[in-house]
Amino acid sequence: MHQKPGIARLPSMRNSARPASSPSVQARLSANENPLGPSPKALEAIAEALPHIHRYADPNNLQLRTALAAHLHLQPEHILCANGSDELILLTALAYINPGDEVIMADGTFISYYMRTQIMDAIQKRIPLVNGTHNLSAMADAITPNTKMILICNPNNPTGTTNGATEMQEFLARVPDDVLIMVDEAYVEYVTRNDFPDMLVEIRNGRKNMIILRTFAKIYGLAGLRLGYGVAHPDMLDYLNKVRPVFDVNALALVAGIAALEDHAHLQASLAHAAESRAFYQRELTALGLTPFASETNFVAVRVGEAGSDTAVMQAMAQYGVAINALGGWGLPGVIRISFGSPAENALCMHTLKTVLAQRS
Ligand SMILES: Cc1ncc(COP(=O)(O)O)c(C=O)c1O
């Protein structure tokens, strides 16, 4: 049977084991999850909704979109919910990219951008990071009449770095109106820098060529429920909604999302935990003679050696029950990424990293 070349080239993950989920894992620090767990208010809302899950949920997700709109000072029309923000990356690629269209993204960013645009047989232009940060001026330089879409991850997964407001405005001024800009803000709630760009203002001001992605999988601790959303001009979301599976957001995610938005105590505790963990890893990694990238997220990335060393360190740490990520496949050979865990998990991780690096030297 004829296969589409872009899809055929992708690895099939269907039978791959997930080492991070194996019982021998004592510290799962590989998926940027919230170690504090879900918001207790979200759990209560799920318990209340459970007896009703024989019913389909509202396909328009209106209650959640209304709550999000109030939270973000927008209208429900500006919001489209989905089965995780990853689904929105897929839907946007499906809806806007034709084979041979150019897409611009960083070399060293969220792996889903490579995979979803490859499905559409797009021509990918990957622009190297500078100090782990998107090079926005080089990304603007790369625009041609064939450019359909630019994907920006701010803060960037997997380096945790951010681009500031001034460079973002300079970049936006150089992007033609018919080029779609996707700004993925999966980690925005963790950001502390004062000059972080406010992309919601662009949508409030009526910008038509931008979609902002956010998720409940990170600070809200609902990764397993699958809930994300896009913020954009209503025209774009009406169009995207045509490719969205009607009941993609499940009934439990809808109520949990609303409750999580209201749980300020959980959000504050998660922020405090991330700040403590960030300081811990900064201190400990620096003491080991390593130079972590400047993280504004719930994870930290750090170079541990030449190409291949990232995989070797990840595999060695797995032997000690610590799951982390190797970033060679993401365009960052020699770099590992550690998600923040509980204080005990963080301590175990650093102890193990020291042991593994000592064995390699
Ligand atoms: C930058 C970025 N975007 C999107 C996602 C996908 O999140 P979700 O669980 O909402 O699909 C992730 C998950 O790790 C991510 O890091």
In three state form, how does the secondary structure of the chain look? CCCCHHHHHCCCCCCCCCHHHCCCCCEECCCCCCCCCCCHHHHHHHHHHHHHCCCCCCCCCHHHHHHHHHHHCCCHHHEEEECCHHHHHHHHHHHHCCCCCEEEEEECCCHHHHHHHHHCCCEEEEEECECCECCHHHHHHCCCCCEEEEEEECCCCCCCCCCCHHHHHHHHHHCCCCCEEEEECCCHHHCCCCCCCCCHHHHHCCCCCEEEEEECCCCCCCHHHCCEEEEECHHHHHHHHCCCCCCCCCHHHHHHHHHHHHCHHHHHHHHHHHHHHHHHHHHHHHHCCCCECCCCCCEEEEECCCCCHHHHHHHHHHHCCEECEECHHHCCCCEEEEECCCHHHHHHHHHHHHHHHHHHC
Average pLDDT, stretch 302-313?
Answer: 96
Query: Would you say the CB of residue 215 lies under 6 angstroms from ligand 1?
Result: yes
pLDDT at 214: 98
CB of 142 within 6 A of ligand 1: the answer is no
> How many other CB atoms are found less than 10 A from the CB of residue 290?
16
Beta bridge partners of 104: 125, 150
Ligand 1 centroid – CA 24 distance (Å): 25
Identify which of 68, 80, 112 to mutate to test ligand 1's pocket (most ligand atoms within 8 A of the CB).
112
Report which ligand 1 atom has the smallest distance to the Cα of 83. Answer: 11
Ligand 1 binding pocket includes 184 (Cβ within 6 Å): yes
Q: Using a 6 Å cutoff on CB, does residue 110 contact ligand 1?
A: yes
Query: What distance in angstroms lies between residue 356's CA and the mean position of ligand 1's atoms?
Result: 29
Q: Is 155 in the pocket of ligand 1 (CB under 6 A)?
A: no
- The residue assigned the tokens 């029950």 is 321
Contact (CB, 8 A) for 40 and 222:
no
For residue 110, give the ligand 1 atom closest to its CA.
1
In tens, the pLDDT along 95-118 reads 999 999 999 999 999 999 999 999
| Ligand 1 atom closest to Cα of residue 187 | 1
- Contact call for residues 273 and 340 (beta carbons, < 8 A): yes
Two tokens at 351?
């102890």
Q: Please give the pLDDT value at position 188.
A: 98
Atom of ligand 1 nearest to the CA of 227: 10
Give nearest CA residue, ligand 1 atom 16: 157
Asked whether the predicted pLDDT for residue 14 surpasses 90, the reply is: no
Domains detected in the chain: 18-37+265-360 (3.90.1150.10), 40-262 (3.40.640.10)
What pLDDT was estimated at residue 74? 98
Q: Can you give the pLDDT at residue 336? A: 98
Euclidean distance between CA atoms 183 and 155, whole angstroms: 10
The pLDDT, as a whole number, for residue 18 is 64
CA-to-CA separations, 134 to 5, 13, 152, 156, 171, in angstroms, rounded: 29, 28, 8, 8, 11
Q: Is 102 in the pocket of ligand 1 (CB under 6 A)?
A: no
Contact assessment for residue 357 and residue 313, using Cβ atoms and an 8 Å cutoff: yes
The structure tokens listed for 72 are 């973000």
pTM given for the model: 0.96
Q: Whose CA is nearest to atom 8 of ligand 1?
A: 84
Determine if ligand 1 sits within 6 Å of the CB of residue 223: yes
In the predicted model, what is the mean pLDDT of the chain? 96
Q: Does residue 157 have its Cβ closer than 6 Å to ligand 1?
A: yes
Assign 242 a pLDDT band (cuts: 50, 70, 90): very high
pLDDT category of residue 156 using cuts at 50, 70 and 90: very high
CB atoms within 10 A of CB 262: 15
Q: Which residues 6+ apart lie within 8 Å of 84 measured at CB?
A: 215, 217, 226, 227, 228
Q: Give the tens place of pLDDT for each residue, 175-216.
A: 999 999 999 999 999 999 999 999 999 999 999 999 999 999
